[in-house]
Structure 1
Amino acid sequence: MKGYLQLKSGDCFHGKWLTDAPNGEVKGEIVFFTGMTGYQEVLTDPSYKDQIIVFTYPLIGNYGINEVNFESEKPHVAGVIVYEAKQTAYHYEAKFTLVDYLQKWGIPMLGHIDTRAVVKKIRNDGSMPAVMTNQIMEKEQQIELLQDIKVSKVASLRPQSYGDGDHHIVLVDYGTKHSIIKSLVKRGCKVTVVPNGMSFDEIQHLKPDGILLSNGPGDPKDLMAELPTVKKLIRHYPTLGICLGHQLASLALGANTKKLTFGHRGANHPVTDLQSGRVFMTSQNHSYVVEQNSLKGTGLSVRFTNLHDQSIEGLEHNVYSLQTVQFHPEAHPGPGESDYIFDEFIETVKDNNGRVIAYA
């Protein structure tokens, strides 16, 4: 059955429904992911909440869906755009085909779309609202998206504990991925995942040795109410911020963020560690970055930069035990070259030895 992808720019792309056609329109911000693999992790990453994802690699789904690589309990994307998706799965761990998995959750997928043309449009005009539909829209019809705080749709509602290691890390959840929790547990940590919005006093009562500010969807400035608590946590505990957590830590200390034209989404983004001079590949998924010219007076200094556009990929503080990264060191999907970030964080936690220090 024919289906259509309509962009706010007015461009319309014809395709074929690979899942059942949706009842009515499916709207979302359209973005693209450049990895050749990793579609299972992308679909279940809460940071993609309500987005329509275009996979740039022409063949998606050939190794199916397994039961171990989920980043959350369900897919979060609004819809999927591909050139071709396999109706079968060729891997010994596969339990579902990609089509069957999306069908189960009611996520529509359009195939036979000219994904190269779609991506070129996004690169030129930026990420924008889009709609997947059964009929061509009238030119004058506007595509408007609901303005909501997406973190509230994906974050934990109550504390949960994982592992029983010697180092107690409280993970403030803005839409965390399972692999971040696993990365801490395998390094000898007990991890307590707490809802964002929990007060500093409530977190302090848990007696953490360190704090992790997680990834999550949306504009960090939608969470301005979180910043006083984030700043208190940074002043009292060794802290690691990942993706949205990196942006929130920066805002809390007086820096600013801005939206990129089309964001960074893929498993092949080169980053330089200015401390070691090392270049490595990273997995990324974000629309917003910290502005370089806003760091003056914050105590923050750049440690990591993106080699494609020289944007900030990570920060350190000259007083607080704070490290932040814009990329995903847990690397699901993506190369694992940056997981040493977790090792550095744990070493900082060990050096602090459970002390609670309030900086002036």
Structure 2
Amino acid sequence: MKAYLILENGDSFEGISIGAKREVVSELVFNTSMSGYLEILTDPSYAGQSVIMTYPLIGNYGVCLEDQESSSVFTEGLIVSELSRIGSNFRTEMDLDTYLKLNDIPGIAGVDTRHLAKVIRQKGCLNGMITTQKYENIQEVLPQIKAYKVEHVVEKVTSDSIHTISSGNKKIALYDFGAKRNIAEHLIKRGYEVIVVPASTPAKKVIAMNVDGILLSNGPGDPSECTEIIGEIKQLIKSGIPIFGICLGHQLMALAQGFKTEKLKYGHHGANHPVKNLINGHVYISTQNHNYVIKESSIDASIAKVWFMNVNDQTIEGLKYHGQPIQTVQFHPEACAGPQDTEFLFDEFTKMIEERR
């Protein structure tokens, strides 16, 4: 069956329908990873977005359910150049097309995804519609496509209730703004009891748990929209409990400290983004998935210093806060999917906790 991708600027592309045969409008982002498509599909940070994979062949090793980063698919749609119909891997449990159908995720194959990436790089972030209906007059659907906004997505991806997923002598409260499974796995591997708390959990409730540390997770959407969460983080700061923030957690902490965020032209999405540690000069390759960054000019040098910077565009990738046991990074040190260069940051978090104890 034919499928069509219509961009808000009026560009349209014809391809082959994959996954669910339903229409979806969403924000479009491109990801430059060569693998890790299952981790990308199940990363809650993609809620409200459809992903364009720039690597030309996707699905070649099938679907290994153990590699899912959450229990659901949060990506709105998938756009690929070529979809492999056979998964060549001893761990594979099904092909990618079947997986998309089972999770009601529409997609399109047979389009020039590298050209699409160039369009977004030139024009900035765009909305798009994936559909199996051929519209004779594209102009009639453009208002609907242009009107789409990624809003209130943290509420859609967070946990329903507080729950513990491990046991240990020390406790970490993991604020779930759309947390990837491997964040908790890294904490468990270091011997921590991980208590997952929903995004709306009051700070006083977490502080009363007598936890040894707090991790602010990754998540989707515009961080400045999360005003109530930012207010609770301000209370967490006053507690003196060591805090580590990742991606959205990094941005929310900055906003709670009085800094500002801004939207990038087309965001950072992929597993090959170089970041430089400005303290020791080392460069690491990182996994990234975000459209917003901390505005450098808004950072008060008396409150925080820049820890990491993006080598490609010099945007802020990490902050250390003066006189506070707080460190945050914009990229994903849990590295799923992606290089494991920055896994040591979980040990940095552990060190902060031990120093406080």
Q: 1:336 to 1:191 in 2, by over 3 A?
A: same
Structure 2 distance, partners of 1:274, 1:160, is 37
Q: Match of 2:211, as an amino acid?
A: P
1:130 Cα deviation from its structure 2 partner: 0.7
Q: 1:46 to 1:298 in 2, by over 3 A?
A: farther
The residue aligned with 1:78 is 76
Map of 1:67-146 to 2, 5 A cutoff? Answer: 67-133=65-131, 134-136=133-135, 137-139=137-139, 141-142=142-143, 143=145, 144-146=147-149
Any gaps of 5 or more consecutive residues in structure 1?
Answer: 354-360
Q: How many aligned residue pairs are there?
A: 351
Q: Which sits farther off after the overlay, 132-141 or 183-192?
A: 132-141
Q: Match of 1:5, as an amino acid?
A: L
1:157 Cα deviation from its structure 2 partner: 1.4
Which residue, 275, 294, 319 being the options, matches 2:279?
Answer: 275
Q: Match of 1:78, as an amino acid?
A: E
The residue aligned with 1:11 is 11
- Per-residue CA deviations over 1:113-142 (Å, capped at 9, x if unaligned) read 111211111101111111012213522531
- Per-residue CA deviations over 1:151-188 (Å, capped at 9, x if unaligned) read 01000111111221222110111010000000100011
Q: Confirm or deny that 1:221 pairs with 2:224.
A: yes
The residue aligned with 1:323 is 327
- Per-residue CA deviations over 1:254-308 (Å, capped at 9, x if unaligned) read 0000000000000000000111211110000000000110012660110100000
Normalised by the size of structure 1, how large is the TM-score?
A: 0.95
Contact 1:254–1:298 under 8 Å retained in 2: no
Q: Match of 2:284, as an amino acid?
A: F
Q: Match of 1:82, as an amino acid?
A: V
The residue aligned with 2:199 is 196
Matched residue SS, 1:68: helix
Q: Match of 1:113, as an amino acid?
A: V
Structure 1 distance, partners of 2:36, 2:95, is 14
Q: Give me the CA root mean square deviation.
A: 1.2
Normalised by the size of structure 2, how large is the TM-score?
A: 0.96
Q: Which sits farther off after the overlay, 325-334 or 204-213?
A: 204-213
Q: Confirm or deny that 1:44 pairs with 2:42.
A: yes
Q: Match of 1:65, as an amino acid?
A: V
After superposing on structure 2, the runs of 4+ consecutive aligned residues of structure 1 that deviate more than 2 Å are: 18-21, 136-141
Contact 2:288–2:332 under 8 Å retained in 1: yes
The residue aligned with 1:357 is none
1:146 Cα deviation from its structure 2 partner: 4.8
Structure 2 distance, partners of 1:215, 1:48, is 10
Matched residue SS, 1:348: helix
The residue aligned with 1:161 is 164
Q: Confirm or deny that 1:56 pairs with 2:59.
A: no
Structure 1 distance, partners of 2:6, 2:55, is 21
The residue aligned with 1:265 is 269
Matched residue SS, 2:297: helix
Which residue, 249, 268, 271 being the options, matches 1:245?
Answer: 249
Structure 1 distance, partners of 2:78, 2:282, is 35
Structure 1 distance, partners of 2:150, 2:341, is 36
Contact 1:170–1:194 under 8 Å retained in 2: yes
